[in-house]
Each structure stands twice: as C-alpha cells, then as structure tokens.
Amino acid sequence: MAREPEIPDHLRQVWRGFQTLSGDRPLGYGTEGPIQWASIDRYAERNCIVGDVFDRFVDLIRAMDSEWRELVEKARKSQSKNR
C-alpha cells in the first residue's frame, strides 16, 4: 500500500492483528496461503479477545486476508503479463 489507511478507533485492534498475523502465512508454489486459524486463535488469546468479540475478530481477519490475497494475486498476474 502506498500509505496506511485511516482506521476507525473501534477497528484498530483488528488492523493491528491483521498486520501482525500477515507474517504467519504458509508459503508454497509462489504464493502465500491464508492466515492459519490457530495463529488467529493464539493472537486472540494473547490479547484477551474472547466471546462474541473473538467471533467477529476471526470474521474480520478472514475477510481482510481474503481481500489481501486477491490483491496480491491480481498484482502477480499483472506483473507476469508485463514480462
């Protein structure tokens, strides 16, 4: 990203979690896999994210992760076309 987006206060914990967890992806065949559930669970446990807040945290991390991986894949395809 060219610059970090403006994050509303109520989503800062999720954004920090996504940034931290983004480094915990399996690698293979030239692409990154999704953030593992066990990593999300451990991060949440460490940060006292429980109950309904945990469920929402998981949903948001998964949605952000999916979008991020789509953007990365589009950039790879575009890059390979330009070669």
Greatest distance between any 2 Cα atoms in the chain? 48
Indicate if the pLDDT at residue 79 is higher than 90.
no
> Of all residues in the chain, what percent carry a pLDDT higher than 70?
95
Q: How far apart are the first and last CA of the chain?
A: 22
- Alpha-helix residue ranges (DSSP H) falling in 1-83: 12-21, 37-46, 51-81
Q: What is the pTM of this model?
A: 0.84
Tell me the C-alpha distance between 69 and 27, whole Å.
12
CB 68 within 8 A of CB 22: yes
Indicate if the pLDDT at residue 77 is higher than 80.
yes
**Residue 28's pLDDT band (cuts 50, 70, 90):** confident
For residues 65-69, average pLDDT: 94
For residues 32-40, average pLDDT: 93
